[in-house]
């Protein structure tokens, strides 16, 4: 019974995590592009005319808007596949999270609870298998819509995704040689050690070329700029999803971001130590849990006070400038930060010797590790946005040339060299 | 182990459930006013021209074929890669050379399709004269530079 509860809890955690990061990512995409292009970006949507959070309310407003939109279905579509396609894309994007470890195993008495949804031995094979299925959603959407643009978008996208899948597979093969296991959690555990005594033993240091290949193929697999030829606005308007509207379009849109979050999670798990905090392994974290907690509470208190003070200053400065309730936002947020600062200070005073006990220390270590995983994933999610608004799109022949004539030989070379190094270092 | 695959299916069911619920809510809330214009395929606001079942480049089929060859290669290499370290202890360097031979056979295949020009996406008629060759090299260099100087110095060839 408890096991089922834990399994459900982990699934719910993952779903909440994905959808939260999804909202943040859509916000980051719009605000980040505004930042890169020197604009202000979205800032109008608000809760009660007060809380705007710098545009963070916009993704919610977007979803609500799409919920209420009429669903335009062209007359000549293949209804079954047309309706199925957004489901396929969305479900596959979500299900890939199943093998992603987000923390070290929890020990409750004599029970071990691994912090990932499914404790599969095939691990990385599951990743390769499921991501390759997402081609189906796109090709179905493109074909069933009965439209030239969607058809071309679907075909292009398929050729691109299958081409780069090989490169992804080769990069992963080299990783398997290094770690000798298909389990993602085993890989993450190995990355907790140190390399040459000072570098974290992360995949990116063991497999620099493999990392570049993996990153590039992941960008191509998620159909992101500079590889978004499936969409290519100037040629295909929007590619395979032109004929979709309302919630079906929203599903495509969310799936695109969800698959980016998956990709970010796997980049951080395979090459950047996943939930490992660099230089701090689980045992150290547990031993010094009290100290770390105290320090982080102090830091939290100071930063919250600082934010509160800045917001108060801003409120004083901007009062009377807008002439409506929007002015109250810095005040409201400032009060929130002030309360948070008080909570931190209170916790410091109450739990002064910071003796957490063994169980508490273990839980503290888990929380820190999950936060580390979330931070890394957020960073790589931001990388996707960053790259999109920095690099222009490839031409299709350049894409194929890069995939088949540069990355495939490089991937094979990387694999060969890795095997040779393993052979010589045995 | 069975339980873990069961959790995958529970996750799958929840994911499907999420999508279905979203669709049902939207279905209940949205207006439904179909019309002939709304039902026509989108073609940038123009009247749709001809059939959407257009002919597409045969090279997409070739890409699919190469994909199968090389993806099967990756699949064959996977189990080998997982047990490589243990195999080294038993078989010694033979475990390594065996893989090298396997990859070499596939490299011959890659070299063949490469040499046949099947990996090159841009395939035109063979260049006829100097001007064509220049145009081709300009096109293949991929440098559509926004750098002012290069735009001024290297004249864009005609007919590209």
Average pLDDT of chain B is 77
Model confidence at A213, pLDDT cuts 50, 70, 90, reads very high
Q: What is the DSSP letter of A403?
A: I
Structure confidence at residue A215 (pLDDT)? 92
SS3 at position B45: coil
Instruction: Show me where the domains of chain B are located.
Output: 57-122, 130-160
CATH architecture of B57-122: Up-down Bundle (1.20)
Q: What is the DSSP letter of A182?
A: S
B28 touches chain A (CB under 8 A): no
First-residue to last-residue Cα distance in chain B: 60
Tell if the CB–CB gap between A159 and B60 is shorter than 8 Å.
yes
- Bridge-based pairing state of the strands A103-108 and A111-115: antiparallel
Nearest to B12 among A91, A180, A182 (CB): A91
Q: Token pair of A40, please?
A: 């202000």
Structure confidence at residue A151 (pLDDT)? 85
Mean pLDDT of A12-33: 88
Burial, B121: exposed, middle or buried (Cβ in 10 Å; 0-12, 13-18, 19+)? Answer: middle
Q: Which of A24, A33, A29 is nearest to A53 (CA)?
A: A24
Mean pLDDT of A270-290: 80
Instruction: Identify whether A226 is preceded by a cis peptide bond (ω within 30 of 0).
Output: yes
Mean pLDDT of A203-216: 88
Mean pLDDT of A73-90: 86
Instruction: Show me where the domains of chain A are located.
Output: 68-276+361-424, 289-355
Of A241-250, A281-290, A291-300, minimum mean pLDDT range: A281-290
Structure confidence at residue A380 (pLDDT)? 92
Which chain B residues touch A120 with a CB distance below 8 Å? 4-5, 8
Mean pLDDT of A283-304: 81
Structure confidence at residue A214 (pLDDT)? 92
Structure confidence at residue A352 (pLDDT)? 63
Query: Considering only residues 84 to 113 of chain B, which have any Cβ-Cβ distance to chain A shorter than 8 Å?
Result: 84-86, 88-89, 93, 96, 99-100, 103, 107, 110
| Spans of chain B below 50 pLDDT | 146-154, 160
| ipTM attached to this prediction | 0.78
Tell if the CB–CB gap between B11 and A95 is shorter than 8 Å.
yes
Q: Please say whether the dihedral angle defined by the alpha carbons of residues A67, A73, A78 and A79, taken in this order, is positive or negative.
A: positive
Of A150-159, A318-327, B75-84, B135-144, minimum mean pLDDT range: B135-144
CB-based contact A52:A46 (threshold 8 Å) = yes
pLDDT at A72 over 50: yes
Nearest to A173 among B15, B32, B81 (CB): B81
Nearest to A71 among B30, B78, B120 (CB): B30
Instruction: Determine the residue of chain B that is closest to A69 in CA distance.
Output: B30
Mean pLDDT of A47-76: 83
Structure confidence at residue A212 (pLDDT)? 92
Q: What string of DSSP letters covers A58-122?
A: HHHHHHHHHHTS-----TTS-HHHHHHHHHHHHHHHHHGGGG---EEEEEETTEEEEESS---SS
């Amino acid at each position: 019974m408890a096991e089922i509860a834990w399994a459900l809890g982990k699934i719910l955690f993952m779903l909440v995590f994905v959808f939260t990061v999804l909202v943040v990512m859509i916000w980051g995409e719009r605000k980040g592009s505004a930042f890169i292009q020197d604009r202000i970006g979205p800032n109008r949507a608000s809760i009660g005319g007060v809380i705007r959070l710098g545009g963070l309310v916009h993704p919610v407003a977007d979803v609500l808007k799409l919920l209420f939109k009429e669903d335009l279905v062209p007359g000549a579509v293949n209804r079954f596949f047309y309706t199925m396609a957004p489901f396929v894309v969305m479900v596959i994007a979500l299900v890939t999270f199943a093998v992603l470890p987000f923390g070290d195993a929890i020990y409750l008495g004599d029970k071990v609870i691994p912090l990932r949804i499914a404790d599969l031995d095939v691990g990385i094979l599951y990743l390769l298998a499921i991501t390759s299925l997402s081609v189906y959603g796109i090709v179905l959407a493109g074909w069933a819509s009965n439209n030239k643009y969607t058809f071309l978008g679907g075909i292009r996208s398929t050729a691109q995704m299958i081409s780069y899948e090989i490169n992804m597979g080769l990069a992963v093969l080299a990783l398997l040689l290094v770690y000798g296991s298909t389990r993602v959690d085993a890989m993450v555990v190995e990355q907790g050690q140190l390399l040459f005594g000072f570098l974290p033993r992360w995949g990116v240091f063991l497999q620099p070329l493999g990392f570049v290949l993996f990153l590039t193929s992941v960008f191509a697999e998620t159909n992101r700029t500079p590889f978004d030829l499936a969409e290519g606005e100037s040629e295909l308007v929007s590619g395979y999803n032109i004929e979709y509207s309302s919630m079906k379009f929203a599903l495509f849109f969310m799936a695109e971001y969800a698959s980016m979050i998956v990709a970010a999670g796997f980049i951080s798990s395979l090459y950047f130590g996943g939930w490992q905090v660099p230089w701090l392994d689980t045992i150290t974290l547990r031993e010094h849990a009290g100290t770390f907690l105290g320090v982080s509470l102090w830091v939290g208190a100071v930063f919250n006070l600082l934010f509160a003070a800045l917001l108060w200053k801003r409120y004083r400065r901007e009062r009377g400038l807008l002439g409506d309730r929007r002015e109250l936002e810095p005040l409201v947020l400032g009060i929130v930060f002030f309360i948070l600062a008080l909570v931190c200070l209170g916790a410091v005073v109450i739990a002064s010797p910071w003796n957490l006990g063994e169980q508490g220390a273990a839980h503290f270590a888990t929380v820190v590790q999950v936060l580390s995983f979330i931070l890394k994933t957020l960073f790589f999610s931001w990388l996707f946005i960053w790259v999109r608004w920095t690099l222009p799109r490839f031409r299709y022949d350049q894409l194929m040339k890069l995939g088949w004539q540069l990355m495939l030989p490089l991937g094979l070379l990387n694999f060969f060299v890795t095997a040779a190094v393993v052979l010589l270092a045995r | 182990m069975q339980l873990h695959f069961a959790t995958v299916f529970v996750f799958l069911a929840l994911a499907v459930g999420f999508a279905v619920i979203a669709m049902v809510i939207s279905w209940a809330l949205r207006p439904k006013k179909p019309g002939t214009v709304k039902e026509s395929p989108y073609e940038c606001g123009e009247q749709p021209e001809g059939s959407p079942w257009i002919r597409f480049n045969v090279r997409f089929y070739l890409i699919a074929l190469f994909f199968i060859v090389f993806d099967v290669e990756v699949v064959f290499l996977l189990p080998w890669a997982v047990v490589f370290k243990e195999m080294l202890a038993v078989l010694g360097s033979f475990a390594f050379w065996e893989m090298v031979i396997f990859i070499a056979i596939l490299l011959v295949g890659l070299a063949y399709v490469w040499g046949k020009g099947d990996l090159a996406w841009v395939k035109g008629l063979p260049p006829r004269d100097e001007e064509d060759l220049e145009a081709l090299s300009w096109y293949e260099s991929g440098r559509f530079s926004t750098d002012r100087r290069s735009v001024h110095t290297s004249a864009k060839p005609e007919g590209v």
